Structure 1
Amino acid sequence: MIYIGTAGFSYQDWKGHFYPQEFDKRYMLEYYSSSFPVVEVNSTWHALPSPRTIHSMARRTPRDFQFIVKAYQGLTHNYRDNEEDFRRLLEVIRPLEDYGKLACVLAQFPWGFKNTPENRDYLRRFRELIPERDLVVEFRNEGWITDETLDLLRELGMGFCCVDEPRLKGLVKPHVILTSHIGYVRFHGRNYEAWWDRNRESWERYDYLYAEDELREWVPGILELDRGAERTYAIFNNHYRGKAPRNAVMLASLLPAERVVPLGTGGEHPRLWED
């Protein structure tokens, strides 16, 4: 089955676009989880919350709701002396495991994490320090897309994150690849102008609304992933002003209904389709 959701949910600029204009931020998770079956928690990249916070999130969501946890930056952007960060991440995800709501851990490596023997060894270490959990790896550098890499991911039981992002030199192209029992596609938008521009705010990189034809390009690939996977996730990271939930609903409408975990109404979102 295909689970469709967004990267994050607690955005103030989603008010009036996804959430009602005067909506109380304290109830965003409940509202979101009545609309989508999965969320990718991105805040864990910036700082690891307490297990109590994660327990509260698990408790406040429907029984079958799923959480994807993005690995802390100390694991994906620092490659030495970080055993304590791995230990703390395992503590943080434990409540989700107890509730049966942990979909997987997503490890997003930066463009500067290149395909070298040392970094391949680090992937092995990553797996050793997070054993027996579903892991998905997102590379930003196209140099990783080799048969050797894919064989290594299969050996380690780590999923490959397919990406849709600006098709700029050196960035990962829109490959359709399955290396574990989890299929994963992450939609970052195609904002070419802002991607490498250091004079812009970080959110501007993800200010992009997909057209229906652009999402339709991915339908065959998502269905191909889903034929070989136990679960397939399609996650939208083009979060500015509610573009992610808007495109998530659009993608769901393009896929066969019997292959998609149903989306809820979430209050019917009267402004979901407005700019």
Structure 2
Amino acid sequence: MSKLQIAVRDIADEMRERTDRGEVATYIPELANVDRKHFGIAVVGVDGEVVVGGDHDMPFSIQSVSKVFTLTLALGKAGDRLWQRVGREPSGSPFNSVVQLEYERGKPRNPFINAGAIAVTDLILSGHQPREALGEILRFIRFLADDQSIGIDEKVAASEQRTGFRNAALANYMKSFGVLDNPVDLTLGVYFHQCAIAMSCLQLARAGRYLAMSGRNPATGHPVINAERARRINAVMLTCGHYDGSGEFAYRVGLPGKSGVGGGILCVAPGKASIAVWSPGLDAAGNSHLGRVALEALTRRMGWSIFGA
């Protein structure tokens, strides 16, 4: 067995036995039904090596991990003009904070908090019908993962639409400042369905490979985005990918990553691997508790931290 195979096997075994699992998200009713005993991990190396453990093939709602892919799409459409409507700074506030948005006159702090991601989705929607915009997002993720079976969990999407009052408040507030171009209900409809995309750890790790490979699609060798843009997306993931827990994640894991309240984390070891973990129990900041613990163990054992072994 390779060093990576041994590390992933041992980490999966350890996570299976741990009892400190955090709490599942309950503000989206459908997510409250997920068993927090699940844990999965998948590592896809830039050399093509694939190593998996635990519930690596079980689909889960990727939620805010989807924001990595919509940010990539939006930058492809608008380039650096995107940053006129969304910032790049860490928030230091909860992911659904209204107070910060009011203080900053409707401009979201970064594209990974909810307000920022809604603004990014609004840009993708412009000039399209909601179904077309959502189809573009889904086709892009399927292309990256090389897997046409990836779809949307309609129960989760409906659950979010029924209870997404805070997101509606954020969107309406941004609309009042001219940050959103499209009708709020249409933008939110795309956003809720985007967050309800369901993927397994293996599918998610495959989809994230381009960020570990300077923007290239490993299947074709052709660029998905240029190397500079991939580097910048990774930088925003490092500083903003875990909301007000981003500093703690950088301190302990030392890699760019993006979490979602479904319990998934996509993590990038530049030049080495794309990693996805899933454990539904969340910490106080809304990030997967065991996911972060597992990634910390993996980067330590493999010497993958961007800050040094």
TM-score using structure 1 length = 0.30
Indicate the structure with greater helix content: 2
TM-score using structure 2 length = 0.27
